[in-house]
Structure 1
Amino acid sequence: MTAEATWPKLTWETLQWETRIGSGPRYMTDTPYLPYKAAVPPSIADIYYAPPSEVATAAEDAALAIRDFDNEFGDDIAPFSAILLRTESVSSSQIENVTANARSIGMAELGDDSKRNATLVVDNVAAMNAALAAADSLEPAAILEMHSALMRHADPQAAGKWRTEPVWIGTSSASPIGADFVAPNASHVPDLIDDLMRYAARNDVQILTQAAIAHAQFETIHPFTDGNGRTGRALLQALLRNKGLTRAVTVPVSAGLLVDVRGYHDALTAYRDGNPDRIIMLTAEATFRAIDNGRQLASDIGAARDRWADTIKARRDAAAWKIADLLTRQPVINSKLLEQRLGLAPATIWRQMQVLEEAGVVKGFDKFKRGRHWRADEILVALDAFAERSGRRSRS
């Protein structure tokens, strides 16, 4: 297989949109059908593309940085893997303007559905978990599982199902006429996804380049009516795990992309015009930013845990220490969670939580009809600071 000097552009096909006036079983049409152009992405399963040396070097350097980060934190701070996956899910949701603070997300993790955005972020965590669980065997069914987890609350009827209708970006929500981008006809989606997963299964492409291109191709196919961006970024994480670049942690690449969301969308447009270099370079740059941010988060959480060690007055075998470890990855807890995760009896929970409250590790609060809860504010502050940094340019 020889390397291609260029990447194929997508082409277009003309389809007809039926216009309707009125509603109900009887309606009138003015111009019954209007033409619009829908994308026809190229098949990529067998394309081998060699990026320019600058892009290839950046992608390889970023891949090495991911491997180093995984080695650094994957074995040492096992709970940190859960926090990183959570931050990636939060950042991916932020790109779609779905935002929630760390405390609201913590409550949603315990089943509080009063804050819709927080619930959607928690569903994105489930989608990321589904992506990583399916990473050993990347098949179309795995993508459906990711989407099903993501959309289970937002759109349960469409969750985990390929779309059967047109989708488009820009202009009116009523029709694709004049849209900025119209995704491929729904009838093409299954074959396009099969082709994409064949590309993803290859082992002769530089890993970060492959992940960036697979992500861009997925966004071009737009196989669902909603949730394409978040599912596509979950797919990127699944690819990194599948290729062995990560073993234990999730590098929050979406947090790096948040610095320049418009640039991210422009890079996807460039990909569709036959230039994958911008999305590859942007993914590499986002990786470096995400790793810097992740290291700062690890430092903040580690510092909090060290402070707790100086203030908790309990025997070394007391359950308070296990609870403190749990708080570093789940900073809002209740009795039910502690029973499920640590197997603690109610009397033990109340006694140990009093120890942690006296040490200033947690604050207790009552949630209407949900009983007593506790939160570790230092961890919540660290998570919110991570989210705030995600929108800043910090690397030169």
Structure 2
Amino acid sequence: MAWNWTLPGWPDFRYDASALESFEQKFLLSSGEILGAVHHVSQPAREQLRIELLSEEAMQTSAIEGEILDRLSVQSSLRRHLGLAPDSYPSKPREQGVAEMMVDVYSGFADLLRHETLFRWHRMLLSHDRQLETIGAYRQHAEAMQIVSGRFDRPTIHFEAPPSARVMPEMERYAAWFNKTRPEGTEPLPALTRAGLSHLYFESIHPFEDGNGRLGRALAEKSLAQNIGQPTLIALAFTIEKERKAYYALLEQHQKTLDVTAWLIWFAEIVLTAQQVTLDRVGFFINKARFYDRHRDQLNARQAKVIARMFREGPGGFKGGLSAENYLKITGTSRATATRDLQDLVEKGAFSRTGERRHTRYGLNIDQDVESIQ
């Protein structure tokens, strides 16, 4: 099998720049819209917004690799690493590691890429893993680095990376390329083109024993942030996770060729979708604050508990809406009390109600229109 790194011309990827121009323009426009929306968030609330956006990305970049993290532990770790007032929730090693890496990516986005940057991220991410031979350094094992699936005795090889002996020179060249293609570099590239290439290029070298996917997505985030001059906070991992099957299929396809136009178009579409998800989340966060401004002093303890639980579901809310049964499970109250509480919330304008009898569902009465905050 001819992998991309074995082809003549590697690593000079070929692509149609004109096919990406409209995506690049939309990216810059959406970046400005997100910045404008965040300015509507009060300064104290911005820290919580940053925690929520970073924690979601930490959760989803791990979910792509099949790891399910404890959200509250991730958020507790983020608060500590960002120097904010800590909460009482315990920080677990896996969650603490990915949170620390996310903060390092966020705070050091403008720094040049160096080997130590990647080694540091790798240590943060995988210091808890006692099964890896090498942590905080590139792989050194003699056996082939392969991405496989299927039966142990008849595996399907999706990709084979360069041998370990080639990793350091390949990463020397990668870091030099990453740095010279930044806006201040000698060969600057447009934002989406550079981020898409940086991710595919890194994944094709696959320099570490484990964690390459998470580090590669962190590099894409760093690249985008450098191109707009500030941390992006966009829902990149969240959006990729929703398209995980296509993501792996396209990576596999373009690790066999140097013609990567189709990969870059797909990646650009993913980033633009991620920007819209982030814009929706910022709008949701602002509307959540407005909701509490209107109703905070009108809620009893049961109602406040249920509403807080509903807000944790995010902009999508409970699938199908909140039912009376949901209310009973969350509060542990009687059916009669639940009925009175729900009716009270409708009368106060906090909830909207749809359906009848056992099909009755409730939703938070908030403005979901992001344009209303701009």
Same fold (TM over 0.5): yes
Check the 8 A contact 2:100/2:124 in 1, yes or no: yes
User: Residue by residue, what CA displacement relative to the aligned partner does 1:336-376 show, whole Å, maximum 9, x if unpaired?
Assistant: xxxxxxxxxxxxxxxxxxx998595558xxxxxxxxxxx94
Structure 2 distance, partners of 1:359, 1:49, is 59
Deviation, structure 1 residue 69: 1.7
Aligned to 2:175: 197
Letter in 1 for 2:159: F
Aligned to 1:95: 64
Letter in 1 for 2:253: A
Aligned to 1:184: 162
- Determine helix, strand or coil for the equivalent of 1:65: helix
Residues 1:129 and 2:103 aligned together: yes
Deviation, structure 1 residue 305: 2.1
Task: Identify the match of residue 222 of structure 2 among 238, 243, 251.
Answer: 238
- Determine helix, strand or coil for the equivalent of 1:97: coil
Aligned to 1:20: none
Aligned to 2:236: 253
Letter in 2 for 1:252: A
Deviation, structure 1 residue 178: 6.5
Deviation, structure 1 residue 256: 1.8
- The change in CA–CA distance for 1:41 and 1:50 in structure 2 (over 3 A counts) is closer
Aligned to 1:68: 33
Deviation, structure 1 residue 173: 9.1
Aligned to 2:54: 85
Check the 8 A contact 2:121/2:215 in 1, yes or no: yes
Residues 1:300 and 2:284 aligned together: yes
- The change in CA–CA distance for 1:311 and 1:167 in structure 2 (over 3 A counts) is same
Task: Identify the match of residue 159 of structure 1 among 135, 149, 152.
Answer: 135
- Determine helix, strand or coil for the equivalent of 2:313: helix
Structure 2 distance, partners of 1:209, 1:142, is 22
Deviation, structure 1 residue 128: 1.9
1:1-396 residue pairs with structure 2 within 5 A? 10-12=4-6, 44=11, 47=12, 51-73=16-38, 76=41, 78-79=46-47, 80-100=49-69, 102=71, 105-106=74-75, 110-113=89-92, 120-135=94-109, 136-155=111-130, 158-165=134-141, 166-171=144-149, 179-201=157-179, 202=181, 203=183, 204-243=188-227, 245=228, 247-272=230-255, 273-312=257-296, 358=301, 361=304, 376-382=308-314
- Determine helix, strand or coil for the equivalent of 1:169: strand
Check the 8 A contact 1:356/1:362 in 2, yes or no: no
- Determine helix, strand or coil for the equivalent of 1:179: strand
More helix by share: 2
- The change in CA–CA distance for 1:51 and 1:385 in structure 2 (over 3 A counts) is farther
Structure 2 distance, partners of 1:138, 1:386, is 41
User: Residue by residue, what CA displacement relative to the aligned partner does 1:174-194 show, whole Å, maximum 9, x if unpaired?
Assistant: 799873311111111111112
| Superposition TM-score, scaled by structure 2 size | 0.66
Check the 8 A contact 2:203/2:212 in 1, yes or no: yes
Structure 2 distance, partners of 1:358, 1:277, is 55
- The change in CA–CA distance for 1:63 and 1:122 in structure 2 (over 3 A counts) is farther
Structure 1: segments with no counterpart, 5+ residues: 1-7, 13-39, 114-118, 314-354, 364-374, 388-396
Check the 8 A contact 2:101/2:124 in 1, yes or no: yes
Check the 8 A contact 1:150/1:159 in 2, yes or no: no
- Determine helix, strand or coil for the equivalent of 1:154: coil
| Superposition TM-score, scaled by structure 1 size | 0.63
Check the 8 A contact 1:222/1:228 in 2, yes or no: yes
- Determine helix, strand or coil for the equivalent of 2:243: helix
Deviation, structure 1 residue 137: 2.0
- The change in CA–CA distance for 1:149 and 1:63 in structure 2 (over 3 A counts) is farther
Structure 2 distance, partners of 1:184, 1:176, is 22
- The change in CA–CA distance for 1:199 and 1:234 in structure 2 (over 3 A counts) is same
Deviation, structure 1 residue 230: 0.6
Structure 2 distance, partners of 1:48, 1:169, is 21
Deviation, structure 1 residue 285: 1.1
Aligned to 1:29: none
Aligned to 1:369: none
- The change in CA–CA distance for 1:195 and 1:144 in structure 2 (over 3 A counts) is same
User: Residue by residue, what CA displacement relative to the aligned partner does 1:204-225 show, whole Å, maximum 9, x if unpaired?
Assistant: 2112101110111111111111
- The change in CA–CA distance for 1:76 and 1:82 in structure 2 (over 3 A counts) is same
- The change in CA–CA distance for 1:179 and 1:359 in structure 2 (over 3 A counts) is closer
- The change in CA–CA distance for 1:278 and 1:128 in structure 2 (over 3 A counts) is farther
Structure 2 distance, partners of 1:196, 1:356, is 56
Aligned to 1:392: none
- The change in CA–CA distance for 1:179 and 1:386 in structure 2 (over 3 A counts) is farther
Structure 1 distance, partners of 2:39, 2:223, is 17
Check the 8 A contact 2:139/2:208 in 1, yes or no: yes
Aligned to 2:343: none
Deviation, structure 1 residue 171: 4.5
- The change in CA–CA distance for 1:60 and 1:279 in structure 2 (over 3 A counts) is farther
Check the 8 A contact 2:125/2:211 in 1, yes or no: yes
